[in-house]
């Protein structure tokens, strides 16, 4: 099977030739090309070259166009802080006080240099890899983007105390998110990762999510012109699976802190599950520990299709060494071939 055929089969909740897997390697591309993280992200050609090179090197089933989350706040006028050994972070919030929200204007994707670099890299990847490899694009959900726009504390205060300004900000963010997602699809992305950690019950109470983040996701995902994967960036999912299934998304990211077999059971026939290797622990894994983690995840999530093996967060840390990645790849090839005859029964929790 091609990568695309393998992924489409599992999205159809059937078993392909093997479990699809995704190594969301971002900063590792800088290491692959022998340059700093700042230099790496300065040119779309760098990212495209590294992503295609790493896809060939590791043999996973996806390409990834993600640069770093702050490319979006750069488009809104914010700054990015770069580090030598970790992901670039958003600088100071672009809104110093909620009363500034009415004066905000959403950026135009075609006029934002940071976003255009991502689109150029996406187009290069598509031209080099052809049509048989899925490319995953990324948007920050309109509901989670305000963490970078305002800061975490002020945003939570806005949610609870100024619902009028919250709704105004959501209208702006939704328009931007839809335009940004559809621009990536037009440039060659196959699907969009809809990163929405604030919607996780790890962050906010369930009732608040139902009244806010869930409605935002329903409105936004309905207007994205391609399949989406809803990712909570390591946050819990089990309490909201039934709700997420109503948004029209195709895939749900599973937390490493939850029972993968239970997530798979609750998603069965409705959502494909992606996850849930622990990227933080991955930094310290031996080859044997990597194999054990992969084998356990496949046993819990793999039977019947509807499962993509990946990390739990959506970005593998810079500190994860190549020998661990090789061990993960080898384990998938050893234990991920269908039929999974070695899985005799549902594993114990």
Q: What is the pLDDT of residues 254-308, one digit of tens each?
A: 999 999 999 999 999 999 999 999 999 999 999 999 999 999 999 999 999 999 9
Euclidean distance between CA atoms 251 and 61, whole angstroms: 15
φ, ψ for residue 184, nearest 5 deg: -65, -40
CA distances from 89 to 35, 39, 82, 139, 146 (A): 19, 15, 7, 15, 14
* Closest of 94, 43, 72 to residue 180, by C-alpha: 72
What tens digit of pLDDT does each residue of 33-56 get? 999 999 999 999 999 999 999 999
For the cut 50, the answer to whether the pLDDT of residue 348 exceeds it is no
Instruction: Report cis status (omega within 30 of 0) of the bond before 28.
Output: no
* Closest of 232, 271, 269, 281 to residue 254, by C-alpha: 232
Confidence grade of residue 181 (pLDDT, cut at 50, 70, 90): very high
Residues 249-257, mean pLDDT to the nearest whole number: 97
Confidence grade of residue 105 (pLDDT, cut at 50, 70, 90): very high
Spatial neighbors of 290 by CB under 8 A, at least 6 apart, are 282, 324, 327, 328, 331
| Dihedral class, residue 95 (left if φ above 0, else alpha if ψ from -120 to 50, else beta) | beta
For the cut 80, the answer to whether the pLDDT of residue 347 exceeds it is no
Q: For the chain, what is the HEC assignment?
A: CCHHHHHHHHHCCCCCCECCECCCCCCHHHHHHCCCHHHHCCCHHHHHHHHHHHHHHHCCCCEECCCCCHHHHHHCCCCEECCCCCCCEECCCCCCCHHHHHHCCCCCHHHCHHHHHHHHHHHHHHHHHCCCCCEEEEEECCCCCHHHHHCHHHHHHHHHHCHHHHHHHHHHHHHHHHHHHHHHHHHCCCEEEEECHHHCCCCCCHHHHHHCHHHHHHHHHCCCCCCEEEECCCCCCHHHHHHHCCCCCCEEECCCCCCHHHHHHHHCCCCEEEEEECHHHHCCCCHHHHHHHHHHHHHHHCCCCCEEEEECCCCCCCCCCHHHHHHHHHHHHHHCECCCCCCCCCCCC
Percent of the chain with pLDDT over 70: 99
Q: For position 93, what pLDDT does the model report?
A: 96
Q: With beta carbons less than 8 A apart as the criterion, state whether 241 and 252 touch.
A: yes
Residues 91-105, mean pLDDT to the nearest whole number: 93
Confidence grade of residue 96 (pLDDT, cut at 50, 70, 90): confident
For the cut 70, the answer to whether the pLDDT of residue 94 exceeds it is yes
For the cut 90, the answer to whether the pLDDT of residue 344 exceeds it is no
More confident residue, 252 or 97: 252
Name the pTM for this structure. 0.96
Q: Which two tokens stand for residue 285?
A: 């894994």
Exposed/middle/buried for 102, CB within 10 Å: 0-12, 13-18, 19+? exposed
Q: For position 349, what pLDDT does the model report?
A: 41
* Closest of 255, 235, 311 to residue 66, by C-alpha: 311
Q: Which two tokens stand for residue 56?
A: 């060939």
What tens digit of pLDDT does each residue of 197-221 get? 999 999 999 999 999 999 999 999 9
What tens digit of pLDDT does each residue of 155-174 get? 999 999 999 999 999 999 99
What tens digit of pLDDT does each residue of 115-128 get? 999 999 999 999 99
Choosing among 3.40.50.300, 3.20.20.210, 3.10.580.20, 3.30.70.20, the CATH entry for 3-335 is: 3.20.20.210
Per-domain boundaries in the chain: 3-335
Q: C-alpha angle with apex 57: 275 to 327, nearest 5 degrees?
A: 55
């Amino acid at each position: 099977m091609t990568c695309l055929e393998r992924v489409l089969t599992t999205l159809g909740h059937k078993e392909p030739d093997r479990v699809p897997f995704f190594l969301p390697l971002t900063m590792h591309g800088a290491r692959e090309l022998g340059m700093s993280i700042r230099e790496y992200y300065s040119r779309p050609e760098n990212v495209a070259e590294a992503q295609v090179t790493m896809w060939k090197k590791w043999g996973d089933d996806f390409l990834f166009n993600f640069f770093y989350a702050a490319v979006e706040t750069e488009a809104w006028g914010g700054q990015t802080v770069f580090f030598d050994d970790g992901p670039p972070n958003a600088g100071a919030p672009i809104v110093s006080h909620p009363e500034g929200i009415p004066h905000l204007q959403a950026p135009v994707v075609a006029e934002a240099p940071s976003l255009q670099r991502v689109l150029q890299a996406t187009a290069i990847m598509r031209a080099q890899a052809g049509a048989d490899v899925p490319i995953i694009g990324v948007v920050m959900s309109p509901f989670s983007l305000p963490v970078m726009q305002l800061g975490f504390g002020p945003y939570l205060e806005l949610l609870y105390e100024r619902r009028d300004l919250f709704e105004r900000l959501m209208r702006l963010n939704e328009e931007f998110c839809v335009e940004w997602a559809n621009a990536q699809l037009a440039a060659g992305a196959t699907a969009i990762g809809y990163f929405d950690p604030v919607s996780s019950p790890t962050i906010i109470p369930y009732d608040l999510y139902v009244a806010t983040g869930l409605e935002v996701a329903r409105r936004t995902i309905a207007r994205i012109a391609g399949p989406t994967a809803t990712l909570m960036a390591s946050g819990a999912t089990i309490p909201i699976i039934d709700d997420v299934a109503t948004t029209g998304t195709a895939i749900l990211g599973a937390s490493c802190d939850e029972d993968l077999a239970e997530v798979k059971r609750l998603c069965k026939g409705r959502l494909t599950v992606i996850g849930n290797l622990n990227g933080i622990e991955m930094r310290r894994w031996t080859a044997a520990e990597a194999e054990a983690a992969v084998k356990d995840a496949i046993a819990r999530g793999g039977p019947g299709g509807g499962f993509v093996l990946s990390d739990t967060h959506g970005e593998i840390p810079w500190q994860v060494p190549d020998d661990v990645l090789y061990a993960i790849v080898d384990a998938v090839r050893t234990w991920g071939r269908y039929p999974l005859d070695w899985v005799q029964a549902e594993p114990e929790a």
